[in-house]
Amino acid sequence: MHSQRAMRTWVVRPREWGFEWLDDFLRSHHIGNASHAPTDAKGAEEWMTVLNEVVVRESDSFFSYEPPTDYRLEERHPQLFQRTCVRKRLAQDAKLKAMAAEGKLRPRRFCVLLRRSGHRIPKMIW
């Protein structure tokens, strides 16, 4: 049973169908786009039923994606990258480098995402 407080803060919102999440798929299959979605409940449900049938029929294209090409894998010791020079981060990075030099830190695999501007954004793959 809900408390009085929970009942006072209860908000009932209209159903959201999420057509905007399907926009790329809608356009690529010439079905329309999210802005064409019906606003009335009955029309939205009918449109979603049709879309589900298309998704099932075209499941390979719905679930496929273009593999990213703007990355490379590196095998190395962890490094800390920061936007600003913070003493605590510099100390942590120095500690990691010392541990690596002493053999107390094993190399890890990192996925380095390459930005168009050439900046590196390291991400560790565990």
- The domain ranges of the chain are 4-63, 71-124
Name, in order, each residue with C-beta under 8 angstroms of 100's C-beta and a sequence gap of 6 or more. Answer: 77
What is the pLDDT, as a whole number, of residue 6?
Answer: 61
Model pLDDT for residues 16-57, shown as the tens digit of each residue? 888 888 888 888 888 888 888 888 889 999 988 988 999 999
Residue 7 in tokens: 């009942």
Q: Residue 57: enclosing H or E segment and its boundaries?
A: helix 41-57
pLDDT at 31: 81
DSSP letter for 72, please: E
pLDDT of residue 42: 92
- pLDDT at 14 exceeding the cut of 70: yes
| CA 122 to chain centroid | 16
Helix/strand/coil for 114: strand
Q: What pLDDT, on a 0 to 100 scale, did the predictor assign at position 5?
A: 62
pLDDT in tens, 59-104: 998 888 878 788 888 888 877 766 666 777 788 888 988 999 999 9
Fill in the amino acid letter for 75.
Answer: E
For residue 121, the surrounding DSSP H or E stretch is: strand 120-124
